[in-house]
Structure 1
């Protein structure tokens, strides 16, 4: 594939990656819980992005455009999943608030947080499902990729190459967000501030789930 095509696609992909979406809020939410969880969630997203790229290369992603019902079904499941993650995290944040109130103000929230930390597997699964249940990614690859794939080239191979570019750019950006979230948690040592950060990020995730659900029916 010509370098000009790769650079052109990278430029378009950069605009898409920087646009806030469910993956952005999910990464922040898991990074606020623990920095490595945000990184692992971002890696899970990269795996699903490559899956969408492969489907686009095989022509399977075109089904989302041909049969809107499939697109709607995936969007509904994805919206419900984001809503579940957001509301579940809000409940955990409320639990932490109660635990902090029962301890001395100088105590850290590490003891309570230990019971509510996400595992590596949970973080990876959440990242993969977030991107896998986002049908807009399939339509995005369907719309973005064809103009940058030379005529006569291997469709699947080219799609995977462009998907790798997109995944690496998206993964790097999400990991940067995870690092910023980790630094923010280091700055805000107060348990109260940390809990409110978790509440805000969880609420944003839940709101994004509602937005996805509304979009599915519109």
Structure 2
């Protein structure tokens, strides 16, 4: 594949990676819980990203052009999933706030907080589902990627190569966000601050879900 195609796609990918989106807020949601959960969520996203690249290489873009309702369905499910995650987390944060006020700095508070910790499998699954149902990624790979693949080249191999470039850039960026989240949690040890960080990240996730849902119908 010509270097011009690789560099051109890398430029487009960089813009997409740096633009805040559902995956960004979901990563922060899990990274604020524990840094390793953020890493697991990012790895799950990379699996789905390579899946999108494979679909582009197999020519699924033509299928979506013929049946646009499929893309709309993905956007609706994705928006509903983000809304579910955000609202669920907000409810948990409100419960913890009540527990913190009633049993501040006690064993009960610590147990309640521990119960909200996610497993690595849960984090990876959430990341994979978020990226798989992210219409922004679908647009990137199924609409914007094909023009960067030279005519006559191996479609699947070229798509996977471009997908690997995007995944590498995306993973590096998400690791920076994870490190920032870990540092933030080290700076803000107060349970009250932690709960507010939880509320902000969860609220942003819910808002992104609403935006994706509205976009699906407009």
User: Normalising TM by the smaller chain, what interval?
Assistant: over 0.9
Compute the displacement of 1:98 (Å): 1.6
Cα drift, residue 110 of structure 1: 4.0
Distance 1:138 1:115 in 2: 35
Q: 2:12 matched to which residue of 1? A: 12
Residue in 1 that maps onto 2:149: 149
Q: What are the ranges of 5 or more consecutive residues in structure 2 without an aligned counterpart?
A: none
1:150 Cα offset (Å): 2.0
**What are the residue-to-residue correspondences of 1:1-218 with 2, within 5 Å?**
1-105=1-105, 110-218=110-218
Q: Deviations over 1:80-109 (max 9, x none)?
A: 100000011011111211221122358895
TM-score scaled to structure 2, two decimals? 0.94
Maintained 8 Å contact 2:40/2:120: yes
Q: Secondary structure at the match of 1:33?
A: coil
Aligned residues: 218
Question: Per-residue deviation at 1:10?
Answer: 1.1
- Counterpart contact for 2:52–2:132, Cα < 8 Å: yes
Mapped to 2, the partners of 1:8 and 1:217 lie a distance apart of 31
Q: State the Cα deviation string for residues 58-95 of structure 1 (Å, max 9, x = none).
A: 00133223212111111111111000000110111112
Contact 1:54/1:160, CA 8 A, preserved across alignment? yes
The 8 Å contact of residues 56 and 159 in structure 2, kept in 1 or not, is answered as yes
Whole-angstrom distance in 1 between the partners of 2:70 and 2:18 = 27
**Residues 125-167 of structure 1, C-alpha deviations (whole Å, 9 max, x = no match):** 1000001112332221123222322221100000000001001
> Is the CA contact (8 Å cut-off) linking 1:96 and 1:113 kept in structure 2?
yes
CA–CA distance in structure 1, aligned partners of residues 201 and 60 of structure 2: 34
What is the alpha-carbon distance in structure 1 between the residues aligned to residue 135 and residue 205 of structure 2?
17
